[in-house]
Structures are given as C-alpha cells and as structure tokens.
Structure 1
Amino acid sequence: MKFFFLEGACIMGKLGNYLVILFISGFMLHESDAFSKWVLELGDNFADLHTDGGYWLVKFYTPWCGYCKRMEPIWGHVVQTLKNTHIRIGRIDCSTFPNIAQKFGITKYPTIKIIKGDEQHTFQGDKDTEQIVNFALRMSGPAVEHITRPESLTNIKNMNQLFFMYVGERQGALWNTFNDVANKMQAHAFYYSTSANIAKKHIYLNDTPAVFVHKENSQYFYTVGEGNEIEEVHHLNASMHKWMNEERFETFMKITEGNIEEVLQTNKYIVLVVVEENKLQEIPKEMLEFRNMVESVIRKDRDKYHSSFQFGWTSNLELANSFAMETISLPYLMVLNSTTLHHHIPEDEPLVMTVEAIELFLERVYNQTAPVYGGNDFAVRLYRAYFRAKTTLVDRYRGNPVLTIVLLGLPTSFLSFILYSCICSDILDAEEEDEDLHEKRE
C-alpha cells in the first residue's frame, strides 16, 4: 500500500524546498575528506563496473538536495564502519549522470542501493547509521547464515538485534519454507539456522525443527496453525511470510516517516501514541507517563493484542497530523487501520485515561463499535493533500515569513508575467488586425 502523501510535500511545498536548497547549496560541503578516500566517485562507468560480481553500496544523490546534505554525517559513519569489509562503497551525482539514475530507477534523493550484477535492492527505512550498515551486511551475505558454534549465538544475542532462527536439520518442508521466506525478506531482518544441540544451550525447545524470533531478550515461536498439516507447503509459505512480516518489528516501536510504509504492510491496527520530544530525545514527564501506560497494555497482555495490534509511538507531529487531518494537541492517542487508513480516537482526554479505559477503547476498535474517521477514498485523499499543503505553508511562514513570501512571490510573479504576456500578446495582435482592416477600408 502506498501512503502517497508521505512521499513528499505538495507541489507548493516541494517548490519551496527546492528554492531553499538552491539558495543554501553554495554554502554546504560534501562528505568529510576523512571518509572521501574510501568512497568511489562513480559515473557512467558504473554501468560496466557493477557487473564484476562484487557488492556495491551506492548512494544516489544530487548537490541541490537538502536531504542529501543532511545525511552526509550519517553516510560518513556508514563508510567508516564498512570500509574494511568486502563491500565497495560509491556515490553517484545524478544531476551529472542522469542516464545512470534512469538505469537504476532513481526517482527520489537520496536513494541507497546494494548492487551486485543485475541484482539491486533499495534501502527502506530511517536513514541512520545502524540501519544502513545492517542492511548492507544482510544483503551482501547469504539470506540464512548457519551458526556452528555456541559462542557465535551468544554474540548474536548480545548485539540486541531482532533476528529469526531455524533450529533443526536443514531439510524438509519447514526448512524449505524458512529459507524461501528469508530470501524474500532478507532486506528486513537477520536470519540464522543452527542445530538443536547449540540452540538448547540458549533457549528451551519442546521439539525440532522449530522457528522462532528473538527480540527484546525473548523468543516467540512460529506455529503452523490448527487444521493445517505441515506438509501443505503453500499454506506454510503464506503463513510464515505473514508471521515474519508481523514479527519483524519491536513490540512497542518508534514510528517515523522512514518506517511507516513498512509498518502499514502488517495489515494490523496501529496503536499510535504521539508525544513531544526535544533534540536531546527528552519527553515531558506527563507525556512520558502516558506513553509508558499505553506500552504497559501490550507488555502485560501480549497474547491478547499482538495478533491484531501493532503498538508504537512517534514524536513526528506532522506525520500524526496527516493521519488525523487536523492539528492535534499532545499527548495524543489514535488507532490507525493500516488496510483502509481509517482512524479511531478515544472520547476521553489522554491524560485522564486509565489502563482500563485504554483496554476498553481497543476492544471497541477491534469490535468495530468505535467511531471511525478518515479513510482512503478520493475525497479524503484530496482533503489530506490540501491539509498537508496548508500546514506546510503555515509552518514555513511561522518559521521565516520573509523567506516564505519570497518563495511564493517568485513563482507567482513568474506565472503572472507569462499569463500577462500571453493575454497582452493576443490583445496587441487583435489591435493590429483591426488597424490593418481599418486602413484597407480607407
């Protein structure tokens, strides 16, 4: 499902962004010289280089892109982390080499891809160092890494990463399905396999083969489901794919514009707490207490809620306003239907809600008795685009009214001049024709 209004701001917002970027681009620098020696400046030659069989992590950018410039420190840390690996790192200026950008299907900047021969995978998610590095390491190795030593599994667990693991002999329907789904979802998580002897030193196993996800220092096992034999490969594949797609997120995650598209693919209800967060990642006490109270609901009764609800929080007010299609007050609680984009809000103010009130609200949402707002039909999408355009313009004006007036005035004046020239040209031509006709009559 494409949440279209998250791809960028409206046309007016984009125009403003581009003009600001053009205004400041002369004062921005490229990656630090300390990292540039590890990054290859690629161009049209990459059309041949990428077919040599090695792995390439490539950033596609343009000099005028503000997002690209803000990402430069992160990219520098990525380079520093991966410089001694088998992954080669490069970047391509798409304004200089548009043919390469077109060849690799680049439509927005910056775009990060891992490329090997004819295979290419685009990074999706928040552009932070850890996620980009993990993406590169996952995609430059086997889909399923086999663990042969107990200490290796200990090290993996100590990294506090979410991962999926198959335990048992690497054969049979369950292994084939696990391996197949891991190949399809390699970009999203780490996948491992190991023997029962090694696994039993770390977790309790009833039987093998088995598949589990490790997250937040706990293991949750995959079950085929009642009424289906394990030999039914088609059902097993669909069932495991659905399970992994749901389990690849933390129980109570931070939701951002970088990962919202992925979260919506769970087809769950998204329980979203909206709070304020400063640059030091500090949350006001009352808002933090409310967020923690909502989190306690899923922590206390995961079995009840996890199959239908994905819990999370955000400090991105613009993202939350886009869902609600109004300017919300904080803290805020909503439940978003990831399939229809309808949303639900409780009748009580968040700060006076109790755990019991939250549970009752979620029960009403699940039973479809809670009031419904929004949606994804044409009229709602149109209003959502209008609301986002309006709020973007208002926020820009509040931040810098003079610059906003200039940004709006320039294109408006330019369009007015074009219209004036066209209209006046027609009038002048008509007057000349009248004069010629009058002279002929005389």
Structure 2
Amino acid sequence: MESSGINDGCDEVEIFSAILTHTAGSRVLELSDRFLEAHKDGQWLIMMYAPWCAHCRRLEPIWSHVAQHLHASSIRVGKVDCTRFTSVTSTFKIKGFPTILFLKGDQKYVYEGDRTREEIVKFALRLSGPPVQEITKTQSFDIIKKEHDLYFLYVGNRAGILWELYHKIANVFQAHAFFYQSHPSVVNKHAPVNNVPALFVYKENSHYNFTGHNLSDMGQVNETLYKWVNAERFPTFPKITRGNINQLFLTNKNLVLAVVEENQLEELAPDMLKFKNMVESVIKNKRNKYHDHFQFGWIGSPNLVNSIAMMTLPIPSLLVINTTTNHHHIPEDETGKLTPYVIELFLEQIRNESAPRYGGNNWLVRSYRKWFEMKTVLTSMWKGNPILMMVLLGLPFGFLSLICYGICCPDLLDAKDDEDENIGMHHMKND
C-alpha cells in the first residue's frame, strides 16, 4: 500500500497517525478511530460508510473522483468504516450510511444534496472559504460565472444593516450557495448597480435584485432577506432527486414537477424531453408571475413521485406539491392535452385554492403512504427476481407453518391416543 503524503508542517505527525491506508491509485484516505484526535486540524471531507451498504458501494467511485478533484486544495478527503470504528460513529452521531461530513475546526456540516461529484465538490469548496468571499478584480467575474451557475452578490462597503444581515444569512446558507461581496468600480458591467448597497442573485445569466425592503426596519429586512435567499438559492428549473427534494420543501412554495423517466444512461426519450421543455417554458416565460408562489423542477425517477401521490402516475405527467401542507394536485386533463396555456390555468386554480387536492399529512395518509411504498418495493423486487422473492417470502411462511404444526399436532396425536385407549377399554368391557 502507498503511504499517505500529507504535508502540513507540524500537524503531519498527528494526521499521519490517523491514517490506516492510502489506497493505491486513489486520493481517498482510509481513517481509523485515531482520526478523532486529528479531525479539528485543517479541513476534512469524510464519508462515513459501512461495507455492507449498497448505497456506499455506489458512492465509492464518485468519492474517488471527488478526492482527485480536491487533491490540490487544502481539503483532505477520507472515509471511515463505521462498523469497525464505532467510537467515530457515536462521536459524530451517525444515523445512516453513507453520511458525508465536512469538518472545519469545531464546525460540522452534513451534506444533504445529490450524490454527484460536481455537487459534493461545490459543497466542500463553499465551506472551505469564508461565508462571504470578496471579489477585487473585474476579471474574476468571468471565472465565477463560468464555474457557478448561481451565486449571491452584495455590492457596497462591508458596513451597515444590509451588510450585517447579508453576512449573517451567508453563514446560515454557506453549505448551499456561494456568497460574494464587491464594489461598484469592480463590478462594472457585470451587475446593474444604480445605488449602493445593492444585493443580487445571479441565475441563468441574469441578475435579480433583492427589493421590497425598508432598511429602517431591521426585523423586517432580516425576515425578508432570509426568505429571499432561501427561495433564490435554487435554479429556476432544477432536476429533483431524493438528495435535494427535502431542501426544496423548505421553500414553502408549491413545487411544480414535470415527471419524466430517464433510461440507465440518464437520457430522456424525445417525447419525455418535449414534455419537460414545455413545462420549463412556463416558468421561463412567466417568471415574474409565478416565481413567488411556485418552484418548478423536473424529476426522472417516477417511483419518488409515485410514493408522494400514492398512485402510479402516467409518464410523462405533471404533479404539484404544496410543501407546507403536503397536499398535492394533479391536472384533470390528460398529459397529451397539456399545453403551456392549460398549465397556466391549472396553476391559477391552485393559487385561488379551487383545484382539487389530495394527500396531506394526517396519520391515515401517512399509514397509507407507508403501505403503498412497501407494496411498490415488493412488486419491484418480484419483477426483478421472482425466485429470490419466493425464497424470501417462503422461508418465513415455512417457519410459521412448522410452528403451527408443532403446536397443533401434539393435540391431535394425544386425541388419537385417547381414542385408542377408549376403544381398548370398550373391548375389555365386552369381553
């Protein structure tokens, strides 16, 4: 095995003692429980895993790419086998596998996004720097726009109410978005600055202002700014996955989903792509109308939305989820009859609360949803491997039969013995 090459001056001995192995051809560090002595030194991106976990095994090649990408940075990328080093599991309160942590001194951040190399690397890079990074050169904007399709920008001096609140909220959302600060002379043509201080979000090659606030009311600005950042930190039409859907629920908006199905290469058939683009055109063309009430997106995994709708939806289809109440809406029109105009009418019905709603979050709905998810999983397993399912379901049934047989058969045998004795006694009397 290759020895780990960590060059961090006086910390080198401490860190090296925490390393068990450094897999040949990989930048990922295999850590032991000695890691607990060194985790506050520097910055760490750690995968807590279990060897038996299928999700962990799928993440392995992605994790190697993450480590390779971050090798030139100050971030060390490692992993811990939590089945061997249970003290690490308890110290960091690991409840599931895999769990991705970013550690910086006494601070701990849990990654809750999509498990792709790009998103994990962005997560680590955001947290590796200060909450708000200063831009001092005009040319830097070209690089930032190329690397980040979404970021927040404060233009003005680092003083005043708006700056203090911006910096405070950047601390809260640092794990989810990039935050920058610059001056009018540096920003130049890259953002439409008329008055300072000014605050923008850069999204889809456009800047959108933070407006509707009164700087004399600090409480109102704080609440408004928090809601604005929380809503704007998502692209206009993102891909929805199991990794980010819970974050999108935090917007408290109606989540409009174009439900399509990807193949194994994550590609869309022409009819799926056409439907997805049609739904996207509604928010792109009517952003000002729907932005405050709806968050649009698309999803390539029908099973996820089927569990929400508690039914098997046709593909493609449209589903709108009220993230506050967990109710959902389905258009009455067939998918083939949906047009941008029909979708707009449907969204207006949702806004004025005249559209039929289903689901919710009461105990009866939650119980039915659990049953539906279990039925879906069992059906999927049966279709994938019916022989294995017969074995899995047959074994418990067989054991149950044996138990019942063991309980019932002695009574039957005893009854038969009693009958034989009675017959014998009857013959003796006759004799």
Name the amino acid aligned to 1:393: L
Deviations 1:267-317 (A, max 9, x none): 000111111211233322223222211111111110000000001111111
CA distance, structure 2, for counterparts of residue 169 and residue 334 of structure 1: 44
User: 1:84 maps to what in 2?
Assistant: 72
Q: Cα distance, 1:235 vs. partner? A: 1.7
The equivalent residue for 2:225 is: 240
| Residue matched to 1:154 | 142
- The CA distance in 2 between the partners of 1:140 and 1:160, in whole Å, is 16
The reply on whether 1:103 has 2:91 as its aligned counterpart is yes
Q: 1 CA distance for matches of 2:124 and 2:394?
A: 44
2:314 alignment partner AA: S
CA distance in 2, matches of 1:412, 1:199: 71
Q: Compared with structure 1, are the counterparts of its residues 270 and 31 closer, same or farther at alpha carbon in structure 2 (3 Å cutoff)?
A: farther
Structure 1 residue 223 corresponds to structure 2 residue 208: no
Q: In 2, Cα distance between the equivalents of 1:105 and 1:126?
A: 21
Question: Residues 44-63 of structure 1 correspond to what in structure 2 (within 5 A)?
Answer: 44-52=33-41, 54-63=42-51
**Hey, what does 2:288 align to over in structure 1?**
303
Tell me what 2:25 maps to.
34
TM-score (norm 2): 0.87
* CA deviation vs aligned residue, 1:324-375 (integer Å, no higher than 9, x gap): 1011111111111001110111111111122211111000011000001111
Residue from 379, 390, 402 that aligns with 1:394: 379
Instruction: After superposition, give the CA deviation of every residue in 1:172-218 in whole Å (9 maximum; x if it has no partner).
Output: 00000100000011000011100111112312212111111111111
Q: What is the SS of the residue equivalent to 1:201?
A: helix
Q: Does 1:272 align with 2:260?
A: no
Which position in structure 2 is the counterpart of 1:355? 340
Shift of 1:83: 1.2
Q: Distance in 1 between matches of 2:221 and 2:250?
A: 19
Determine if the alignment matches structure 1 residue 260 to structure 2 residue 245.
yes
Alignment partners' CA distance in 2, 1:92 and 1:44: 8
Amino acid at match of 2:200: F
2:423 counterpart residue number: none
Q: Is contact 1:67-1:109 (8 Å) kept?
A: yes
Distance verdict in 2 for CA 1:33–1:351, change over 3 Å: farther
Q: Distance in 2 between matches of 1:414 and 1:46?
A: 45
Structure 2 residues without counterparts, runs of 5 or longer: 1-20, 416-431
Mapped to 2, the partners of 1:40 and 1:293 lie a distance apart of 46
Unaligned runs of 5+ in 1: 1-29, 432-442
Higher relative contact order (CA 8 A, sep 6+): 1
* SS, match of residue 205 in structure 1: coil
- Distance in 1, matches of 2:34 and 2:368, equals 46
Deviations 1:108-150 (A, max 9, x none): 1111101123211001111100111111111111010001111
RMSD: 2.3
User: Per the alignment, do residues 169 and 159 of structure 1 end up closer, same or farther by CA in structure 2, a change over 3 Å counting?
Assistant: same
Shift of 1:47: 1.6
1:312 match: 297
C-alpha separation between the residues in 1 aligned to 2:161 and 2:395?
64
After superposition, where does 1:106-145 map in structure 2 within 5 Å?
Answer: 106-145=94-133
Indicate whether 1:172 and 2:163 are aligned.
no
How many angstroms apart in 1 are the aligned matches of 2:23 and 2:115?
Answer: 18
Is the contact between residue 291 and residue 313 of structure 1 (CA under 8 Å) also seen in structure 2?
Answer: yes
> Which one-letter code corresponds to 2:340 in the other structure?
V
Q: How does the TM-score come out when normalised to structure 1?
A: 0.85
Work out the CA distance in 2 between the residues paired with 1:195 and 1:239: 23
Sort the Cα spacing of 1:326 and 1:32 in 2 relative to 1 into closer, same or farther, 3 A. farther
